[in-house]
Amino acid sequence: MIIIFLLFFFLTHPANIIALSPTPSVATATPEISPAKSSTLEEEIKKVREAVQQKVQEKLKEISSPEVNKKKGIIGKITKIDGLSLVLEDNLLVNRKLIVSSDTIVIDKNRNKSKLENLKTGNEILAMGYTTEDGSLDVKRIVIVDSLTIVDPLNVAIGKIVDISRTLPIFVLIPTSDKDIQYQIKTDTKTEMIDSLKNKISFSDLKNGQRTILVFKPENKTSKSFYAVKIINLDYKKTP
């Protein structure tokens, strides 16, 4: 009876069935860049890159190219003679190439005219001429001098301190003009040391990495170290 009653109930009361249809997916449209706009953008980027590369090349050429045809004088000692080419070691112990010719005037120690063949290695000379593209000096006049007459020639360099002795008043400076050179600098109580505001400082105030203007001279004719006459520390800051 129960079964018959249930069958009668379901037949007379049909269930409401809801069909679920799948939710339609929303398609996200990707904005399209027209070929014309894409081409214009690429051309602009290319132009900017080319302009930057050109500026870089111009700056590199400006830095690497020596001044040409500039009047210059160099004092130093002849270390090598090879025909019409001489090598001169200047006061900074840097080798300079000199180019001479039959027109080069040579003056000896007695201020008399001499000849190129009378030049010898070890001679102290003043060479005067014009700079060339390869950095040599096209010499027009040579004056042989007595080393005793060259009294404490001073040099000026701007660079960074790269090493400081912990036991001696000595430091090493690399000039910004030539990072392949290192100057070993000695100081003493006579060395004037100031900051950029002209306040006096001491050797203990010198630190690695500080930019420095250095007035110095060779310690002697044979030494490869130099003596600091004056030090201007551009980066020194007094701590409170």
Within a domain: 19: no
Within a domain: 190: yes
Confidence of residue 142 (pLDDT cuts 50, 70, 90): very high
β partners of residue 144: 125
Same domain, yes or no, for 82 and 114? yes
Same domain, yes or no, for 177 and 220? yes
The total number of residues shown for the chain amounts to: 240
The CATH number of the domain holding residue 117 is 2.40.50.430
Within a domain: 31: no
Within a domain: 172: yes
For 106-116, write each residue's pLDDT tens digit.
998 888 999 99
CA dist 69 → 19, 73, 87 (Å): 96, 12, 19
Q: Are 234 and 222 in contact (CB under 8 A)?
A: no
> What is residue 147's predicted lDDT score, i.e. its pLDDT?
60
CB atoms within 10 A of CB 142: 25
Within a domain: 52: no
Same domain, yes or no, for 160 and 204? yes
Q: Are 134 and 146 in contact (CB under 8 A)?
A: no
DSSP 204-240: GG--TT-EEEEEEEESSSS-SEEEEEEEEESS-----
CB atoms within 10 A of CB 90: 16
Instruction: Give the H/E segment covering residue 61.
Output: helix 35-64
For the chain, how many structural domains are there in total?
2
CA dist 137 → 31, 108, 115, 185, 219 (Å): 66, 20, 19, 28, 26
Q: Kindly report which listed range (21-30, 36-45, 80-89, 107-116) carries the lowest average pLDDT score.
A: 21-30
Within a domain: 180: yes
Same domain, yes or no, for 90 and 104? yes
> What is residue 17's predicted lDDT score, i.e. its pLDDT?
45
Could you list the residue range(s) of the whole structural domain that residue 201 is in? 155-233
Same domain, yes or no, for 123 and 168? no
Q: SS3 for 96?
A: strand
For 43-84, write each residue's pLDDT tens digit.
777 777 777 677 666 655 554 555 677 888 888 899 999 999
Q: Are 110 and 118 in contact (CB under 8 A)?
A: no
Q: Are 233 and 208 in contact (CB under 8 A)?
A: no
Same domain, yes or no, for 165 and 195? yes
Q: Are 216 and 224 in contact (CB under 8 A)?
A: no
Same domain, yes or no, for 174 and 125? no
- Which of 94, 116, 149 is a domain's end point? 149
Same domain, yes or no, for 104 and 165? no
pTM (2 decimals)? 0.44
- 179 vs 172: CA distance, rounded Å: 12
